[in-house]
Amino acid sequence: MFDAVAREGHEGIIAKRAEAPYHGARTKDWLKIKASRRQEFIIAGWSPSTRKKGFASLLVGAWEGKRLVYRGRVGTGFTVKSAENLQQRLDALARKTSPFVEVPAAIARNARWVSPKLVAEVGYTEFTPDGILRHPSFLALREDKPAKSVVMERPAAVPEATLSGASGLQAAEAAGIKLTSPDRVVYPGQGVTKADLVAYYAAVAERMLPYIERRPLSLLRCPQGRAKHCFFQKHDTGGFPEALKSMLIAEKDGGKEVYFYIESLAGLIGGTQMNVLEWHLWGAPIKDVEKPERIIFDIDPDEEQGFEHVRSAARDVRQALEDVGLESLSLGQRRQGRACDRPFATARRVARDQGLLQASGAKPGRRSTGSLRRHDEQGKAQGQNVHRLSSQ
């Protein structure tokens, strides 16, 4: 909507804090979000025209503390009628001295001064390095805004999300989960506690959940933190919070096992309560686990192999996918390797992706072949174990 407003040349939009009540007064719960550069300025003088009776341009400024600072001349944007009406109001406010703290001598020489009571809304392209308006244009008088309140508008800094143990405890309480040992350090290298991790999940849940919710999950649990013993858990053995849900999935041997999945932030918090530090997700949703929506190439290097080999291998994977018309994205660096993700665009392309796997020789848990072989050879030449490419 905002883009459409800007495209049509409108002023902007008005936004209200969602949870705030409606009041018949100006409050900080309401924001005016401008689609173009415009601002209110105080009219404190005018320059006479040499071709007609009345002004050629308005001299405008804004308050900085108790000083009225000159910001430039506005000479366009007026209709004949609006200029005549404005001139009458300027004449009624005439005074002998300049209200500005300072004005360039060439402009002050012929200027006519007025009491700083009128407020004009002005559109402009930018400010010059010395703070003067560039290409200003008169838009309207602002009868609703007192001149004493006009100051230079500056973009407000976006407050950073507060990630603290206290906010993590609040998030857990709101989710109905009792967080035990909230001060236990789970990432010693960064000093991140269990409650800190919950606070982080609460901050990123809106963007994280679309990628993890309602998919089968395997968990890496670290009861004493990441630096000590951790174990991998694929199946629900009981004792987990209700928010960490489970479902039966048929195994290849014909049996069925219980797998985890989550639907909300409460699931992430419930997993954290159970000391889950890594979430390994399937490429298929729980509604149809036999139809994956994405394919992941997991590039695992030997611990002693340099990361430059990982980068090079990732580029080769990307090129191989591009060669058959598929775009891939890096999921980001893990502790050692990197994962290349290729979401399936439509079901019709699944077979194409499977053909790519067969052509490249990349099978789950097997060594890579084809264009990746040279990285293996480089690793062997250095007496190192080769990296492994697997698809998930």
Report the CATH number at residue 322.
3.30.70
Residue range of the domain that includes 213: 165-281
Residues 81 and 177 occupy one common structural domain: no
Any idea what the CATH number is for the domain that residue 244 is in?
A: 3.90.920.10
Decide which of 281, 314, 337 is a domain's last residue. Answer: 281
Q: Using only the alpha carbons of the chain, give its radius of gyration.
A: 32
pLDDT band at 189 (very low <50, low <70, confident <90, very high): confident
Residues 269 and 364 occupy one common structural domain: no
Token pair for residue 155?
A: 């973009």
Residue 16, in any domain of the structure = no
Residues 269 and 337 occupy one common structural domain: no
Instruction: Decide if pLDDT at 269 tops 50.
Output: yes
Residues 243 and 309 occupy one common structural domain: no
Between CA 113 and CA 98 the distance in angstroms is 6
Any idea what the CATH number is for the domain that residue 99 is in?
A: 2.40.50.140
Residue 2, in any domain of the structure = no
Residues pairing with 121 in the sheet: 40, 140
Instruction: Decide if pLDDT at 19 tops 80.
Output: no
Q: What is the pLDDT of residue 162?
A: 65
Decide which of 119, 149, 179 is a domain's last residue. Answer: 149
Q: Are strands 38-48 and 112-123 parallel, antiparallel or unpaired?
A: antiparallel
Decide which of 124, 149, 174 is a domain's last residue. Answer: 149
Residues 334 and 271 occupy one common structural domain: no
The residue to which tokens 């060439």 are assigned: 106
Residues 341 and 317 occupy one common structural domain: yes
Between CA 29 and CA 11 the distance in angstroms is 19
Q: Which of the pair, 150 or 22, is modelled with greater confidence?
A: 150
Residue 32, in any domain of the structure = no
> Among 23-27, 136-140, 347-351, whose mean pLDDT is lowest?
347-351
The residue to which tokens 């591009």 are assigned: 322
Question: What digits encode the pLDDT tens for the residues 120-150?
Answer: 999 998 899 999 999 999 999 999 999 999 9
Q: What is the pLDDT of residue 196?
A: 94
Residues 62 and 134 occupy one common structural domain: yes
Residue 4, in any domain of the structure = no
Residue 83, in any domain of the structure = yes
Long-range contacts of 177-184 (CB under 8 A, 24+ apart): 177/241, 177/243, 177/266, 177/269, 177/270, 177/273, 178/273, 179/269, 179/272, 179/273, 180/273, 184/225
Residues 260 and 300 occupy one common structural domain: no
pLDDT band at 32 (very low <50, low <70, confident <90, very high): confident
Question: DSSP letter string over 285-353?
Answer: -TT-TTS-SEEEEEEE--TTS-HHHHHHHHHHHHHHHHHTT---EEEEE-SS-EEEEEE-SSGGGHHHH
Angle at Cα 289 formed by Cα 286 and Cα 290, nearest 5°? 160
Residues 118 and 222 occupy one common structural domain: no
Q: Are strands 231-233 and 245-250 parallel, antiparallel or unpaired?
A: unpaired
Residues 113 and 183 occupy one common structural domain: no
Residues 175 and 249 occupy one common structural domain: yes
pLDDT band at 77 (very low <50, low <70, confident <90, very high): very high
Residue 203, in any domain of the structure = yes
Residue 12, in any domain of the structure = no
Between CA 248 and CA 256 the distance in angstroms is 6
Tell me how many domains the chain contains. Answer: 3
Q: Which of the pair, 186 or 254, is modelled with greater confidence?
A: 186
Question: What digits encode the pLDDT tens for the residues 316-343?
Answer: 888 888 888 888 877 654 444 455 555 5
